[in-house]
Protein backbone atom coordinates (compact mmCIF):
# COMPACT_ATOMS: atom_id res chain seq x y z
CA UNK A 1 0.00 0.00 0.00
CA UNK A 2 2.72 2.34 1.14
CA UNK A 3 4.81 1.34 -1.92
CA UNK A 4 2.04 2.08 -4.44
CA UNK A 5 1.19 5.48 -2.93
CA UNK A 6 4.85 6.48 -3.04
CA UNK A 7 4.99 5.33 -6.73
CA UNK A 8 1.95 7.51 -7.46
CA UNK A 9 3.42 10.49 -5.70
CA UNK A 10 6.75 10.00 -7.52
CA UNK A 11 4.83 9.84 -10.75
CA UNK A 12 2.97 13.01 -9.82
CA UNK A 13 6.26 14.72 -9.07
CA UNK A 14 7.60 13.62 -12.46
CA UNK A 15 4.52 14.99 -14.25
CA UNK A 16 4.77 18.23 -12.24
CA UNK A 17 8.43 18.63 -13.17
CA UNK A 18 7.67 17.94 -16.84
CA UNK A 19 4.89 20.55 -16.79
CA UNK A 20 7.23 23.11 -15.20
CA UNK A 21 9.88 22.32 -17.84
CA UNK A 22 7.39 22.62 -20.68
CA UNK A 23 6.00 25.87 -19.31
CA UNK A 24 9.54 27.27 -18.96
CA UNK A 25 10.41 26.24 -22.53
CA UNK A 26 7.10 27.72 -23.76
CA UNK A 27 7.82 30.96 -21.87
CA UNK A 28 11.27 31.29 -23.41
CA UNK A 29 10.02 30.35 -26.88
CA UNK A 30 7.19 32.91 -26.64
CA UNK A 31 9.73 35.47 -25.48
CA UNK A 32 12.01 34.78 -28.43
CA UNK A 33 9.07 34.95 -30.86
CA UNK A 34 7.90 38.22 -29.32
CA UNK A 35 11.43 39.70 -29.48
CA UNK A 36 11.83 38.73 -33.12
CA UNK A 37 8.39 39.50 -34.57
CA UNK A 38 6.37 41.76 -32.24
CA UNK A 39 8.90 43.83 -30.26
CA UNK A 40 8.78 47.59 -31.02
CA UNK A 41 12.51 47.44 -31.98
CA UNK A 42 11.95 44.57 -34.48
CA UNK A 43 12.66 46.77 -37.54
CA UNK A 44 16.11 47.90 -36.32
CA UNK A 45 19.05 46.24 -38.09
CA UNK A 46 21.17 43.59 -36.36
CA UNK A 47 21.67 39.83 -36.17
CA UNK A 48 18.59 37.75 -35.33
CA UNK A 49 20.42 35.97 -32.50
CA UNK A 50 20.99 39.27 -30.64
CA UNK A 51 17.38 40.37 -31.26
CA UNK A 52 16.09 37.06 -29.86
CA UNK A 53 17.91 36.95 -26.52
CA UNK A 54 20.21 38.93 -24.25
CA UNK A 55 22.42 35.92 -23.59
CA UNK A 56 24.99 36.54 -26.40
CA UNK A 57 25.41 40.15 -25.20
CA UNK A 58 25.99 39.00 -21.61
CA UNK A 59 28.49 36.44 -22.88
CA UNK A 60 30.51 39.25 -24.54
CA UNK A 61 30.29 41.35 -21.37
CA UNK A 62 31.52 38.40 -19.33
CA UNK A 63 34.39 37.55 -21.68
CA UNK A 64 35.50 41.20 -22.00
CA UNK A 65 34.89 41.31 -25.77
CA UNK A 66 32.08 43.91 -26.00
CA UNK A 67 34.39 46.42 -27.73
CA UNK A 68 35.46 44.40 -30.80
CA UNK A 69 32.00 42.84 -31.11
CA UNK A 70 30.28 46.26 -31.22
CA UNK A 71 32.76 47.46 -33.78
CA UNK A 72 32.10 44.44 -36.03
CA UNK A 73 28.33 44.94 -35.69
CA UNK A 74 28.49 48.60 -36.72
CA UNK A 75 30.78 47.76 -39.66
CA UNK A 76 28.25 45.21 -40.85
CA UNK A 77 24.90 46.85 -40.02
CA UNK A 78 25.60 50.61 -40.07
CA UNK A 79 25.19 53.52 -37.61
CA UNK A 80 22.49 51.92 -35.45
CA UNK A 81 22.36 48.26 -34.39
CA UNK A 82 19.98 46.29 -32.20
CA UNK A 83 22.52 44.62 -29.91
CA UNK A 84 20.04 42.89 -27.56
CA UNK A 85 16.22 42.55 -27.50
CA UNK A 86 15.66 45.94 -25.81
CA UNK A 87 18.95 47.66 -26.62
CA UNK A 88 20.33 49.87 -29.42
CA UNK A 89 23.90 50.96 -30.09
CA UNK A 90 24.80 54.05 -32.14
CA UNK A 91 28.01 55.66 -33.47
CA UNK A 92 26.92 59.05 -34.89
CA UNK A 93 27.42 62.58 -33.57
CA UNK A 94 23.67 63.16 -33.80
CA UNK A 95 23.04 60.21 -31.48
CA UNK A 96 25.75 61.43 -29.08
CA UNK A 97 24.07 64.83 -28.82
CA UNK A 98 20.56 63.41 -28.39
CA UNK A 99 21.46 60.77 -25.79
CA UNK A 100 24.07 62.61 -23.70
CA UNK A 101 23.57 66.29 -24.65
CA UNK A 102 21.87 68.97 -22.61
CA UNK A 103 18.51 68.03 -21.15
CA UNK A 104 15.32 69.05 -22.90
CA UNK A 105 12.29 69.92 -20.74
CA UNK A 106 10.67 66.79 -19.31
CA UNK A 107 12.26 63.52 -18.36
CA UNK A 108 15.63 63.07 -20.08
CA UNK A 109 17.81 60.05 -20.78
CA UNK A 110 18.58 58.56 -17.37
CA UNK A 111 21.49 56.42 -16.39
CA UNK A 112 20.40 52.83 -16.29
CA UNK A 113 19.61 52.20 -12.59
CA UNK A 114 20.51 48.52 -13.07
CA UNK A 115 24.13 49.58 -13.62
CA UNK A 116 24.62 52.45 -11.19
CA UNK A 117 24.45 51.59 -7.51
CA UNK A 118 24.92 53.92 -4.53
CA UNK A 119 28.13 54.01 -2.47
CA UNK A 120 28.75 51.58 0.43
CA UNK A 121 26.88 53.90 2.85
CA UNK A 122 23.78 53.75 0.61
CA UNK A 123 24.19 57.38 -0.53
CA UNK A 124 24.33 58.29 -4.23
CA UNK A 125 27.45 60.06 -5.53
CA UNK A 126 27.59 62.49 -8.45
CA UNK A 127 28.06 59.52 -10.80
CA UNK A 128 24.91 57.67 -9.77
CA UNK A 129 22.46 60.41 -8.71
CA UNK A 130 19.73 61.62 -11.06
CA UNK A 131 17.80 64.79 -11.96
CA UNK A 132 17.81 67.64 -9.46
CA UNK A 133 19.86 65.65 -6.94
CA UNK A 134 22.62 65.28 -9.55
CA UNK A 135 22.50 68.97 -10.54
CA UNK A 136 22.86 69.98 -6.87
CA UNK A 137 25.88 67.73 -6.24
CA UNK A 138 27.52 68.75 -9.51
CA UNK A 139 27.02 72.46 -8.68
CA UNK A 140 28.62 71.92 -5.26
CA UNK A 141 31.63 70.08 -6.69
CA UNK A 142 32.20 72.32 -9.73
CA UNK A 143 34.28 75.00 -7.91
CA UNK A 144 36.84 72.28 -7.05
CA UNK A 145 37.32 71.66 -10.80
CA UNK A 146 37.14 75.28 -12.04
CA UNK A 147 39.96 77.05 -13.93
CA UNK A 148 40.73 78.97 -10.73
CA UNK A 149 41.07 75.75 -8.74
CA UNK A 150 43.18 74.18 -11.47
CA UNK A 151 45.60 77.09 -11.46
CA UNK A 152 45.85 76.87 -7.64
CA UNK A 153 46.54 73.13 -7.92
CA UNK A 154 49.44 73.49 -10.39
CA UNK A 155 52.14 73.14 -7.73
CA UNK A 156 50.63 69.83 -6.64
CA UNK A 157 50.67 68.61 -10.25
CA UNK A 158 54.28 69.72 -10.66
CA UNK A 159 55.29 68.07 -7.40
CA UNK A 160 54.09 64.58 -8.36
CA UNK A 161 55.27 64.88 -11.98
CA UNK A 162 58.72 65.86 -10.67
CA UNK A 163 58.69 62.91 -8.28
CA UNK A 164 57.83 60.52 -11.17
CA UNK A 165 60.74 61.81 -13.27
CA UNK A 166 63.17 61.69 -10.34
CA UNK A 167 62.19 58.18 -9.26
CA UNK A 168 62.29 56.87 -12.85
CA UNK A 169 65.75 58.48 -13.21
CA UNK A 170 66.93 56.62 -10.07
CA UNK A 171 65.44 53.39 -11.35
CA UNK A 172 67.25 53.70 -14.72
CA UNK A 173 70.52 54.48 -12.90
CA UNK A 174 70.18 51.28 -10.88
CA UNK A 175 68.90 48.88 -13.54
CA UNK A 176 70.36 50.30 -16.78
CA UNK A 177 68.52 49.41 -19.98
CA UNK A 178 66.08 46.99 -18.32
CA UNK A 179 62.56 48.01 -19.47
CA UNK A 180 60.14 49.54 -16.97
CA UNK A 181 56.36 49.04 -16.90
CA UNK A 182 55.27 52.62 -17.64
CA UNK A 183 51.60 51.87 -16.96
CA UNK A 184 52.51 50.95 -13.40
CA UNK A 185 54.51 54.17 -12.93
CA UNK A 186 51.71 56.27 -14.43
CA UNK A 187 49.14 54.71 -12.13
CA UNK A 188 51.29 55.30 -9.05
CA UNK A 189 51.56 58.94 -10.11
CA UNK A 190 47.87 59.48 -10.82
CA UNK A 191 46.86 57.72 -7.58
CA UNK A 192 49.28 59.80 -5.50
CA UNK A 193 48.03 62.95 -7.17
CA UNK A 194 44.35 62.16 -6.76
CA UNK A 195 44.94 61.10 -3.14
CA UNK A 196 46.56 64.44 -2.42
CA UNK A 197 43.83 66.35 -4.26
CA UNK A 198 41.01 64.40 -2.62
CA UNK A 199 42.22 64.04 0.97
CA UNK A 200 45.27 66.29 1.24
CA UNK A 201 47.53 63.23 1.60
CA UNK A 202 49.13 61.11 -1.18
CA UNK A 203 49.06 57.32 -1.18
CA UNK A 204 52.90 57.19 -1.26
CA UNK A 205 53.07 54.84 -4.25
CA UNK A 206 55.83 56.83 -5.97
CA UNK A 207 57.83 57.17 -2.77
CA UNK A 208 57.80 53.39 -2.27
CA UNK A 209 57.74 52.58 -6.02
CA UNK A 210 54.93 50.05 -5.49
CA UNK A 211 51.18 49.79 -4.97
CA UNK A 212 50.34 50.59 -1.38
CA UNK A 213 47.60 48.68 0.43
CA UNK A 214 44.80 51.18 -0.18
CA UNK A 215 45.59 51.54 -3.88
CA UNK A 216 45.82 47.79 -4.33
CA UNK A 217 42.35 47.52 -2.77
CA UNK A 218 40.72 49.92 -5.25
CA UNK A 219 42.80 49.20 -8.37
CA UNK A 220 40.65 47.38 -10.90
CA UNK A 221 37.45 48.41 -9.08
CA UNK A 222 35.72 48.86 -12.44
CA UNK A 223 36.25 45.18 -13.23
CA UNK A 224 34.31 44.31 -10.05
CA UNK A 225 31.54 46.75 -11.07
CA UNK A 226 31.36 45.07 -14.50
CA UNK A 227 30.72 41.64 -12.95
CA UNK A 228 28.09 43.05 -10.57
CA UNK A 229 26.38 44.62 -13.63
CA UNK A 230 26.36 41.28 -15.44
CA UNK A 231 24.84 39.54 -12.40
CA UNK A 232 22.10 42.18 -12.19
CA UNK A 233 21.03 41.44 -15.75
CA UNK A 234 20.52 37.75 -15.12
CA UNK A 235 17.15 38.30 -13.42
CA UNK A 236 15.50 36.19 -11.96
CA UNK A 237 18.75 34.28 -11.33
CA UNK A 238 20.61 37.43 -10.24
CA UNK A 239 20.13 36.81 -6.51
CA UNK A 240 21.70 33.35 -6.76
CA UNK A 241 24.58 34.69 -8.86
CA UNK A 242 25.18 37.46 -6.35
CA UNK A 243 25.33 34.91 -3.54
CA UNK A 244 28.28 33.43 -5.42
CA UNK A 245 30.25 36.70 -5.25
CA UNK A 246 32.87 36.08 -2.53
CA UNK A 247 32.21 37.73 0.84
CA UNK A 248 35.82 38.98 0.76
CA UNK A 249 34.88 41.30 -2.13
CA UNK A 250 32.21 43.02 -0.03
CA UNK A 251 34.59 43.18 2.94
CA UNK A 252 37.18 44.80 0.66
CA UNK A 253 34.67 47.44 -0.49
CA UNK A 254 33.71 48.22 3.12
CA UNK A 255 37.36 48.52 4.12
CA UNK A 256 38.15 50.99 1.32
CA UNK A 257 35.09 53.04 2.15
CA UNK A 258 35.90 53.21 5.86
CA UNK A 259 39.51 54.19 5.13
CA UNK A 260 38.20 57.00 2.90
CA UNK A 261 35.83 58.26 5.59
CA UNK A 262 38.79 58.43 8.02
CA UNK A 263 40.81 60.38 5.47
CA UNK A 264 37.96 62.84 4.87
CA UNK A 265 37.45 63.31 8.64
CA UNK A 266 41.18 63.87 9.12
CA UNK A 267 41.27 66.41 6.29
CA UNK A 268 38.27 68.34 7.67
CA UNK A 269 39.66 68.53 11.19
CA UNK A 270 43.13 69.54 9.93
CA UNK A 271 41.76 72.98 8.88
CA UNK A 272 44.61 73.05 6.33
CA UNK A 273 44.60 75.56 3.43
CA UNK A 274 46.03 72.98 0.99
CA UNK A 275 44.20 73.72 -2.33
CA UNK A 276 42.72 70.21 -2.68
CA UNK A 277 39.12 69.45 -3.75
CA UNK A 278 37.85 69.53 -0.17
CA UNK A 279 39.15 73.07 0.34
CA UNK A 280 36.47 74.26 -2.12
CA UNK A 281 33.77 72.26 -0.36
CA UNK A 282 34.67 73.10 3.23
CA UNK A 283 33.40 76.63 3.78
CA UNK A 284 34.71 78.14 6.98
CA UNK A 285 31.44 79.90 7.86
CA UNK A 286 28.76 77.49 6.71
CA UNK A 287 30.77 74.32 7.49
CA UNK A 288 30.92 71.61 4.83
CA UNK A 289 28.88 72.44 1.69
CA UNK A 290 27.26 68.97 1.51
CA UNK A 291 26.05 66.42 4.07
CA UNK A 292 28.96 64.40 5.42
CA UNK A 293 27.68 61.04 4.12
CA UNK A 294 27.41 62.55 0.65
CA UNK A 295 30.94 63.87 0.96
CA UNK A 296 32.21 60.37 1.84
CA UNK A 297 30.41 58.91 -1.20
CA UNK A 298 31.74 61.59 -3.57
CA UNK A 299 35.33 61.55 -2.32
CA UNK A 300 35.50 57.78 -2.86
CA UNK A 301 34.00 58.11 -6.32
CA UNK A 302 36.40 60.87 -7.38
CA UNK A 303 39.43 58.75 -6.46
CA UNK A 304 38.02 55.87 -8.51
CA UNK A 305 36.99 58.04 -11.47
CA UNK A 306 40.15 60.13 -11.68
CA UNK A 307 43.06 57.73 -11.14
CA UNK A 308 43.13 54.64 -13.36
CA UNK A 309 41.37 56.52 -16.20
CA UNK A 310 44.11 59.15 -16.48
CA UNK A 311 46.91 56.56 -16.19
CA UNK A 312 45.16 54.54 -18.87
CA UNK A 313 44.97 57.55 -21.20
CA UNK A 314 48.66 58.32 -20.61
CA UNK A 315 49.68 54.72 -21.31
CA UNK A 316 47.58 54.61 -24.51
CA UNK A 317 49.05 57.87 -25.81
CA UNK A 318 52.63 56.83 -24.94
CA UNK A 319 52.12 53.48 -26.70
CA UNK A 320 50.86 55.12 -29.92
CA UNK A 321 53.65 57.69 -29.87
CA UNK A 322 56.36 55.06 -29.44
CA UNK A 323 54.86 53.06 -32.31
CA UNK A 324 55.04 56.09 -34.62
CA UNK A 325 58.63 57.44 -34.82
CA UNK A 326 57.68 60.43 -37.05
CA UNK A 327 55.06 61.67 -34.59
CA UNK A 328 57.44 60.96 -31.69
CA UNK A 329 60.15 63.08 -33.33
CA UNK A 330 57.75 65.99 -33.91
CA UNK A 331 56.55 65.83 -30.28
CA UNK A 332 60.13 65.66 -28.93
CA UNK A 333 61.24 68.56 -31.18
CA UNK A 334 58.29 70.67 -30.02
CA UNK A 335 58.96 70.06 -26.34
CA UNK A 336 62.74 70.26 -26.34
CA UNK A 337 62.57 73.32 -28.63
CA UNK A 338 60.04 75.23 -26.51
CA UNK A 339 61.76 75.30 -23.11
CA UNK A 340 65.21 76.34 -21.97
CA UNK A 341 65.22 74.11 -18.90
CA UNK A 342 63.08 71.46 -17.16
CA UNK A 343 61.91 74.07 -14.61
CA UNK A 344 60.35 76.06 -17.47
CA UNK A 345 57.93 73.22 -18.28
CA UNK A 346 54.97 74.72 -16.46
CA UNK A 347 51.30 73.69 -16.75
CA UNK A 348 50.32 77.06 -18.24
CA UNK A 349 52.95 76.73 -20.94
CA UNK A 350 52.35 73.06 -21.87
CA UNK A 351 48.71 73.98 -22.52
CA UNK A 352 49.91 76.09 -25.45
CA UNK A 353 51.85 73.35 -27.32
CA UNK A 354 49.76 72.42 -30.40
CA UNK A 355 51.45 69.14 -31.33
CA UNK A 356 51.25 67.89 -27.73
CA UNK A 357 47.51 68.73 -27.69
CA UNK A 358 47.08 66.86 -30.98
CA UNK A 359 48.83 63.68 -29.76
CA UNK A 360 46.64 63.66 -26.64
CA UNK A 361 43.44 64.03 -28.72
CA UNK A 362 44.55 61.39 -31.20
CA UNK A 363 45.76 59.02 -28.47
CA UNK A 364 42.40 59.25 -26.66
CA UNK A 365 40.55 58.71 -29.95
CA UNK A 366 42.51 55.52 -30.61
CA UNK A 367 42.46 54.32 -27.00
CA UNK A 368 39.60 55.90 -24.99
CA UNK A 369 40.03 54.85 -21.32
CA UNK A 370 36.31 53.94 -21.15
CA UNK A 371 35.94 52.18 -24.53
CA UNK A 372 32.46 50.69 -24.11
CA UNK A 373 29.27 52.72 -24.37
CA UNK A 374 27.75 54.63 -21.44
CA UNK A 375 24.33 53.02 -21.04
CA UNK A 376 21.22 55.20 -20.81
CA UNK A 377 17.45 54.57 -20.71
CA UNK A 378 15.12 56.45 -23.04
CA UNK A 379 12.54 58.62 -21.20
CA UNK A 380 9.18 57.00 -20.38
CA UNK A 381 7.47 58.95 -23.19
CA UNK A 382 10.01 57.60 -25.75
CA UNK A 383 12.37 59.69 -27.91
CA UNK A 384 13.40 60.43 -31.48
CA UNK A 385 17.02 59.36 -32.08
CA UNK A 386 18.54 60.02 -35.51
CA UNK A 387 15.09 60.57 -37.00
CA UNK A 388 13.65 57.26 -35.73
CA UNK A 389 11.24 56.64 -32.88
CA UNK A 390 12.58 54.69 -29.90
CA UNK A 391 10.06 53.59 -27.23
CA UNK A 392 10.43 54.53 -23.55
CA UNK A 393 12.60 52.32 -21.36
CA UNK A 394 14.91 51.18 -24.19
CA UNK A 395 18.61 50.81 -23.35
CA UNK A 396 20.59 53.08 -25.69
CA UNK A 397 24.25 54.00 -25.94
CA UNK A 398 26.88 55.34 -28.27
CA UNK A 399 29.62 52.71 -28.42
CA UNK A 400 32.66 54.88 -27.78
CA UNK A 401 35.44 52.82 -29.38
CA UNK A 402 33.28 51.82 -32.36
CA UNK A 403 32.41 55.51 -32.97
CA UNK A 404 36.09 56.54 -32.68
CA UNK A 405 37.17 53.83 -35.14
CA UNK A 406 34.38 54.12 -37.70
CA UNK A 407 35.14 55.09 -41.31
CA UNK A 408 31.85 57.03 -41.26
CA UNK A 409 33.48 59.40 -38.75
CA UNK A 410 37.23 59.33 -39.50
CA UNK A 411 39.46 58.80 -42.52
CA UNK A 412 41.95 55.96 -41.84
CA UNK A 413 40.47 55.46 -38.36
CA UNK A 414 43.00 52.80 -37.35
CA UNK A 415 46.01 55.01 -38.05
CA UNK A 416 47.50 57.36 -35.43
CA UNK A 417 47.61 60.74 -37.21
CA UNK A 418 47.87 63.73 -34.81
CA UNK A 419 47.78 66.05 -37.86
CA UNK A 420 44.03 65.38 -38.24
CA UNK A 421 43.56 67.62 -35.15
CA UNK A 422 45.77 70.35 -36.63
CA UNK A 423 43.67 71.26 -39.66
CA UNK A 424 45.38 68.93 -42.19
CA UNK A 425 43.20 69.20 -45.35
CA UNK A 426 43.44 65.47 -45.99
CA UNK A 427 41.29 64.94 -42.90
CA UNK A 428 38.85 67.79 -43.52
CA UNK A 429 35.95 65.31 -43.70
CA UNK A 430 36.69 63.86 -40.24
CA UNK A 431 33.76 64.15 -37.85
CA UNK A 432 35.88 65.23 -34.87
CA UNK A 433 32.91 65.60 -32.54
CA UNK A 434 32.46 61.83 -32.79
CA UNK A 435 35.54 61.43 -30.56
CA UNK A 436 34.23 61.99 -27.02
CA UNK A 437 36.46 60.16 -24.51
CA UNK A 438 35.02 62.30 -21.68
CA UNK A 439 31.42 62.09 -22.96
CA UNK A 440 29.42 65.31 -23.31
CA UNK A 441 26.51 67.20 -21.75
CA UNK A 442 25.45 67.50 -18.11
CA UNK A 443 26.91 64.10 -17.11
CA UNK A 444 30.23 64.55 -18.90
CA UNK A 445 33.51 64.21 -17.03
CA UNK A 446 33.89 66.89 -14.37
CA UNK A 447 37.66 66.21 -14.20
CA UNK A 448 38.26 66.66 -17.94
CA UNK A 449 40.45 69.81 -17.70
CA UNK A 450 42.45 68.37 -14.83
CA UNK A 451 42.99 65.12 -16.76
CA UNK A 452 44.09 66.99 -19.90
CA UNK A 453 46.55 69.10 -17.95
CA UNK A 454 47.89 66.11 -16.02
CA UNK A 455 48.44 64.12 -19.22
CA UNK A 456 50.08 67.00 -21.09
CA UNK A 457 52.40 67.89 -18.21
CA UNK A 458 53.49 64.30 -17.56
CA UNK A 459 54.04 63.57 -21.26
CA UNK A 460 55.98 66.83 -21.77
CA UNK A 461 58.30 66.11 -18.85
CA UNK A 462 58.76 62.45 -19.84
CA UNK A 463 59.70 63.44 -23.41
CA UNK A 464 61.99 66.19 -22.11
CA UNK A 465 63.83 63.85 -19.73
CA UNK A 466 63.96 60.48 -21.50
CA UNK A 467 64.44 58.87 -24.90
CA UNK A 468 61.92 56.02 -24.92
CA UNK A 469 61.76 52.75 -26.85
CA UNK A 470 58.86 50.30 -26.78
CA UNK A 471 59.86 46.77 -25.85
CA UNK A 472 59.60 44.28 -28.75
CA UNK A 473 57.06 42.14 -26.84
CA UNK A 474 54.68 45.12 -26.35
CA UNK A 475 54.06 45.90 -30.04
CA UNK A 476 50.43 44.67 -29.72
CA UNK A 477 49.90 46.16 -26.26
CA UNK A 478 46.55 47.72 -27.19
CA UNK A 479 44.94 44.38 -28.02
CA UNK A 480 43.14 44.11 -24.70
CA UNK A 481 39.85 42.88 -23.28
CA UNK A 482 37.66 45.35 -21.44
CA UNK A 483 35.43 45.36 -18.39
CA UNK A 484 34.21 49.00 -18.40
CA UNK A 485 37.91 50.02 -18.63
CA UNK A 486 40.63 48.24 -20.64
CA UNK A 487 42.23 45.28 -18.91
CA UNK A 488 45.72 46.77 -19.19
CA UNK A 489 48.87 44.75 -19.72
CA UNK A 490 52.35 45.93 -18.63
CA UNK A 491 53.63 48.65 -20.99
CA UNK A 492 57.34 47.80 -21.11
CA UNK A 493 59.54 50.69 -22.25
CA UNK A 494 63.31 51.18 -22.22
CA UNK A 495 64.25 54.64 -20.95
CA UNK A 496 67.50 56.50 -21.51
CA UNK A 497 68.05 59.86 -19.79
CA UNK A 498 68.42 62.53 -22.49
CA UNK A 499 72.03 63.31 -23.38
CA UNK A 500 73.32 60.07 -21.89
CA UNK A 501 75.16 57.91 -24.49
CA UNK A 502 73.69 54.45 -25.33
C1 LIG B 1 41.62 60.55 -19.11
C2 LIG B 1 40.96 60.61 -17.98
C3 LIG B 1 39.46 60.53 -17.83
C4 LIG B 1 38.52 60.04 -18.69
C5 LIG B 1 38.72 59.45 -20.08
C6 LIG B 1 37.23 60.23 -18.06
C7 LIG B 1 36.02 59.88 -18.64
C8 LIG B 1 34.78 60.09 -18.05
C9 LIG B 1 33.52 59.75 -18.65
C10 LIG B 1 33.36 59.09 -20.03
C11 LIG B 1 32.53 60.11 -17.79
C12 LIG B 1 31.01 59.93 -17.99
C13 LIG B 1 30.52 58.69 -17.23
C14 LIG B 1 29.05 58.38 -17.45
O15 LIG B 1 28.33 59.09 -18.14
O16 LIG B 1 28.59 57.37 -16.89
C17 LIG B 1 33.16 60.66 -16.63
C18 LIG B 1 32.49 61.12 -15.52
C19 LIG B 1 33.12 61.60 -14.39
N20 LIG B 1 34.48 61.78 -14.22
FE21 LIG B 1 35.94 61.40 -15.55
N22 LIG B 1 37.42 60.81 -16.84
C23 LIG B 1 38.76 61.03 -16.67
C24 LIG B 1 39.37 61.64 -15.58
C25 LIG B 1 38.72 62.14 -14.48
C26 LIG B 1 39.33 62.84 -13.38
C27 LIG B 1 40.82 63.22 -13.30
C28 LIG B 1 38.35 63.09 -12.46
C29 LIG B 1 38.42 63.76 -11.11
C30 LIG B 1 39.48 64.00 -10.45
C31 LIG B 1 37.10 62.56 -13.00
C32 LIG B 1 35.89 62.62 -12.37
C33 LIG B 1 34.68 62.28 -12.95
C34 LIG B 1 33.40 62.44 -12.28
C35 LIG B 1 33.18 62.95 -10.85
C36 LIG B 1 32.41 62.02 -13.19
C37 LIG B 1 30.89 62.01 -12.98
C38 LIG B 1 30.30 63.30 -13.54
C39 LIG B 1 28.79 63.40 -13.45
O40 LIG B 1 28.08 62.37 -13.45
O41 LIG B 1 28.29 64.54 -13.38
N42 LIG B 1 37.37 62.00 -14.23
N43 LIG B 1 34.54 60.65 -16.81
Position 373 confidence tier, pLDDT thresholds 50, 70, 90: very high
Residue 279: which residues within 8 A CB-CB, separation 6 or more?
A: 144, 272, 273
CB of residue 138 inside a 6 A radius of ligand 1: yes
* Residue 137 CA, ligand 1 centroid: distance in Å: 14
Q: Is the CB of 443 under 6 A from ligand 1?
A: yes
pLDDT (mean) for 139-161: 94
Nearest Cα residue to atom 24 of ligand 1:
306
Peptide bond into 236 cis (omega under 30): yes
Q: How far is 88 from 379, CA to CA, in rounded Å?
A: 14
Task: Check: CB of residue 125 under 8 Å from CB of residue 298.
Answer: yes
User: Atom 30, ligand 1: which residue's CA is nearest?
Assistant: 306
Question: Both ends of the chain: CA-CA distance in Å?
Answer: 95
In three-state secondary structure terms, 306 is helix
pLDDT for 465 beyond 90: yes
Judged against a pLDDT cut of 50, whether residue 502 lies above it is answered with: yes
pLDDT of 194 > 90? The answer is yes
Q: Is the pLDDT of residue 113 over 70?
A: yes
**Nearest protein CA to atom 9 of ligand 1, as residue:** 438
Contact 308/188 with Cβ under 8 angstroms? no
> How many whole angstroms from 139 Cα to the centroid of ligand 1?
15
Residue 97 and residue 436 in contact, taking contact as beta carbons nearer than 8 Å: no
Q: Helix (H, G, I), strand (E, B), or coil: what is residue 12?
A: helix
Cα separation, 3 vs 58, whole angstroms: 47
Q: How many CA atoms lie within 13 A of 487 on its CB side?
A: 15
Q: What are the E-state strand segments in 65-108?
A: 80-84, 87-90
Q: What is the pLDDT of residue 6?
A: 55
CA of 79 to the centre of ligand 1 (A): 25
What pLDDT is attached to residue 1?
Answer: 43
Q: Is 443 in contact with 134 (CB distance < 8 Å)?
A: yes
Q: What is the mean pLDDT of residues 367-382?
A: 94
Angle at 283 between CA 279 and CA 287, to 5 degrees: 120
Cα separation, 266 vs 263, in Å, equals: 5
The preferred substitution site among 294, 445, 450 for testing ligand 1, maximizing ligand atoms within 8 Å of CB, is 445
Query: Residue 107 carries which DSSP code?
Result: S
Residue 235 pLDDT greater than 90, yes or no: no
**212 CB-near residues (< 8 Å, 6+ apart):** 203, 204, 205
Q: What are phi and psi for residue 180, nearest 5 degrees? A: -110, 155
Q: Which atom of ligand 1 is nearest to the CA of 303?
A: 30
All residues at 6 or more sequence positions from 469 whose CB lies less than 8 Å from its CB, including other chains: 322, 493, 494, 496
Specify the residue with its C-alpha closest to ligand 1, atom 26.
306
Q: Is any atom of ligand 1 closer than 6 Å to the C-beta of 447? A: yes
Q: How far apart are CA 199 and CA 288, in angstroms?
A: 14
Q: What percent of the chain has a predicted confidence (pLDDT) above 90?
A: 70
313 lines ligand 1 (CB under 6 A): yes
Whether the CB of 302 sits within 6 Å of ligand 1: yes
Beta strands in 420-489, from DSSP E residues, in sequence order: 466-470, 482-483, 485-486
For residue 436, the ligand 1 atom closest to its alpha carbon is 10
How far apart are the C-alpha atoms of 289 and 480, rounded to whole Å? Answer: 41
Look up the ipTM and state it.
0.99
Helix (H, G, I), strand (E, B) or coil at 199: helix
Q: What is the pTM of this model?
A: 0.92
What atom in ligand 1 is closest to the CA of residue 442? 41
Ligand 1 centroid vs 306 CA: distance in angstroms? 7
Closest atom of ligand 1 relative to the 298 alpha carbon: 35
User: What's the full length of the chain, in residues?
Assistant: 502
Question: What's the distance, CA 106 to chain centroid?
Answer: 28
Query: Is the predicted pLDDT of residue 369 greater than 90, yes or no?
Result: yes
User: Is the confidence at residue 333, as pLDDT, over 50?
Assistant: yes
Atom of ligand 1 lying closest to residue 198 CA: 30
56 vs 247: which has the higher pLDDT: 56
Closest alpha carbon to 323 in 416, 404, 418, 455: 416
Q: How far is the CA of 109 from the centre of ligand 1 (A)?
A: 18
445 assigned binding-site residue: yes
| Segment 370-389 mean pLDDT | 94
Query: Atom 6 of ligand 1 has which residue's CA nearest to it?
Result: 438
Amino acid sequence: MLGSSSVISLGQIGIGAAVVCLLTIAYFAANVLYNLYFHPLRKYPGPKLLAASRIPYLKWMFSGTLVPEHRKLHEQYGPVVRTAPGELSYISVEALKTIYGHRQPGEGFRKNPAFFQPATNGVHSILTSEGDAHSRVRRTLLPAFSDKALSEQQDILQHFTGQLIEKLGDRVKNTGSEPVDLFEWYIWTTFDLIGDLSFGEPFNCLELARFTEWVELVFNAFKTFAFVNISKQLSPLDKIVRLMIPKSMKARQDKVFNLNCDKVDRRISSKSDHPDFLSYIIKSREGVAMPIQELYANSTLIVLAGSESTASGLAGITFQLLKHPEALKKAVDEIRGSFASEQDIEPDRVKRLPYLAAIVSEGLRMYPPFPEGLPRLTPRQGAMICGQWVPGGTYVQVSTHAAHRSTTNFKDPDVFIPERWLGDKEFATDNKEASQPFSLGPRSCIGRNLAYLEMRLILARMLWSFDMHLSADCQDWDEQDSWIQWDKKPLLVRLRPVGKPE
